[in-house]
Amino acid sequence: MSPPPHARTPRVDLVGLRRELPEDVAAVVDRYEHHLAMERALSPHTVRAYLADVVALLVHLASGTPGDAAVEAVDLAGLRSWLAAQHAAGASRTSLARRAASARAFTAWATRAGLLPDDPGPRLAAPRPHRTLPAVLRPEQAKAVMTAAEVSAEQGDPVALRDQAVVELLYATGVRVAELCGLDLDDIDYSQRVIRVLGKGRRERTVPFGVPAERAVRRWVEQGRSALVSDRSHRALFLGARGGRLDPRTARRVVHDVVGAVPESADTGPHGLRHSAATHLLEGGADLRTVQELLGHATLATTQLYTHVTVDRLKAIHDRTHPRS
């Protein structure tokens, strides 16, 4: 019997399981972590996700007994068995596709490192993920969100000033929330109205922003930031309530709260603002290559997803307004 669509894979203490791995297997996981973080320059979040999948795979192959785990036991049958167990536990198509990709990345590395005689990864089939985009705000809704943030900041509260600058800069630039939280004061060029962003794979890019975002960021830096500064702040642009660099989880909560204050707006977070920015750029006449560069996409295929949103919206407008639709 198939699991209900809302079922989730049980939460596993992967950190604890990693500690219990045999010393030689734990050493392999450590080497793989170094490869992901230093050689591939992946973000800490991505590294954690890859490692979680690898540890879960090794534990599964050992039938739940970490002491019996072994890297050489990773073969095609084992990979298929692991994905089947994930499916039985209720993992979605998207999750299965991601875990299959994670397993293939590990087996490819392990083969190059001489830990596997051949690579079973390319023969591992997985369901294609449903590529969906988060809800996109309409331009008037985005404007209302920015107005709501501005109204909240009118009293000069440092946190409200920060929150306004966060939502303005996210929407103005379309940067990822981790990229926003990683910004330093020196990464802003007010004269050119651009920010220097360190994106995925440590690829650096320059992204412009408009006058409203400049105004909000200046107010935060000049009037709000000093109230939160501590010895943990260093050169971070955005700070948390205790003075450390703003955490992405806090930034997500900020966006959800501000967007939620606007009636009839979609429930969305920083990723939704990123998608809204891309969609509005395309609807305003920007070409795909330009949007690709602004968003920091490695391939144009990722940026092309936004054209579907734009076309769907154009069709809806056509159906509502054209006399012969």
Residue 151: the pLDDT is 94
Mean pLDDT of the 264-271 span = 85
Please say if the pLDDT value at position 2 is more than 50: no
Closest to 165 (Cα-Cα) out of 212, 128, 97 = 212
112 and 148, same structural domain?
Answer: no
For residue 257, the surrounding DSSP H or E stretch is: helix 248-260
Q: Of 270, 291, 314, which residue constitutes the final position of a domain?
A: 270
Instruction: Please tell me which residue in 35, 60, 275, 297 is annotated as part of the active site.
Output: 297
Q: How far apart are CA 294 and CA 273, in angstroms?
A: 14
**Is 51 strand, coil or helix?**
helix
266 has pLDDT over 70: yes
- The answer to whether residue 200 is catalytic is yes
The enclosing domain of 200 has a CATH number of 1.10.443.10
pLDDT of residue 9: 37
pLDDT score, position 136? 83
Q: Is position 271 annotated as part of the catalytic site?
A: yes
Query: Any residues with CB less than 8 A from the CB of 39 and at least 6 apart, and which?
Result: none
Q: Which residue has the higher pLDDT, 286 or 243?
A: 243
Classify residue 313: in a domain, yes or no: no
For the segment 63-72, the average pLDDT, to the nearest whole number, is 61
Q: Tell me the residue range of the domain where 113 lies.
A: 14-123
Q: Which of 123, 153, 172 is the last residue of a domain?
A: 123
Name the active-site residue from 98, 200, 205, 256.
Answer: 200
Q: What is the DSSP letter of 239?
A: B
Judgement on whether residues 21 and 109 belong to the same structural domain of the protein: yes
Taking the C-alpha atoms of residue 50 and residue 58, their distance in angstroms, rounded to an integer, is 13
Burial class (CB in 10 A: 0-12, 13-18, 19+), 161: buried
Phi first, then psi, for residue 32 (nearest 5°) are: -65, -40
Active site annotation includes 315: no
pLDDT at site 7: 35
- Model pLDDT, residue 28: 92
Which residues on adjacent β-strands are paired with residue 206? Answer: 196
Helix, strand, coil abundance in the chain, percent, nearest 5: 60, 5, 35
At CA 106, angle to CA 300 and CA 45, rounded to 5?
65
Same domain, 175 and 233: yes
- Report if residue 293 sits inside a domain: no
HSE-up of residue 209 (Cα within 13 Å, Cβ side): 30
Which phi and psi (to 5°) does residue 297 adopt? Answer: -75, 135
Are residues 71 and 168 located together in one domain of the fold? no
Tokens linked to 319? 């159906």
Same domain, 159 and 253: yes
- How many H-runs (helices) and E-runs (strands) does the chain carry? 14, 3
pLDDT digits (tens, 9 = 90+) for 94-142: 888 889 999 999 999 999 999 999 999 999 987 776 666 667 888 999 9
Burial of 126-149, coded b for 16+ CB within 10 Å and e otherwise, reads beeeeeebbbbbeeebbebbbebb
CATH number of the domain within which 84 lies: 1.10.150
Which helix or strand (DSSP H or E) is residue 103 part of?
Answer: helix 93-112
pLDDT at 147: 95
Q: Give the ranges where 10-126 is alpha helix by DSSP (H).
A: 14-20, 23-34, 44-61, 76-88, 93-112
Number of domains in the chain: 2
Going by the DSSP 8-state scheme, the letter that residue 2 receives in this structure is P
pLDDT in tens, 178-225: 999 999 999 999 999 999 998 777 788 999 999 999 999 999 999 999
The catalytic position among 60, 274, 275, 280 is 274
Q: Which secondary-structure segment (H or E) carries 283?
A: helix 270-283
Residue in 32, 50, 171, 306 annotated catalytic: 306
pLDDT at 169 over 50: yes
Quick one: pLDDT band at residue 11, thresholds 50, 70, 90? Answer: very low
Examine residue 183 and state whether it is found in any structural domain, yes or no: yes
> What one-letter code names the amino acid at 137?
L
The answer to the question of residue 240 being in a domain is yes
Q: Which amino acid is at 238?
A: F
DSSP state of 27: H
4 has a pLDDT exceeding 60: no
Classify 253 as helix, strand or coil: helix
Residue 292: its pLDDT value, please? 85
And the tokens for 300?
A: 């144009």
Highest average pLDDT, of 50-59, 110-119, 134-143, 292-301, comes from: 110-119
Catalytic residue among 48, 138, 256, 271: 271
Residues 36 and 101 in one domain: yes
Residues 68, 154 share a domain: no
Last residue of a domain, one of 270, 288, 310: 270
DSSP 233: -
- Residue 176 is among the residues annotated as catalytic for this protein: yes
pLDDT for 307 beyond 60: yes
- Asked if 134 contacts 273 with a C-beta cutoff of 8 angstroms, the reply is no
Residue 278 lies in a domain: no
Active site residue: 87, 162, 176, 245, which one?
176
Mean pLDDT, the chain, rounded, equals 85
Say whether both 49 and 88 belong to one domain.
Answer: yes
Q: Rounded to two decimals, what is the model's pTM? A: 0.66
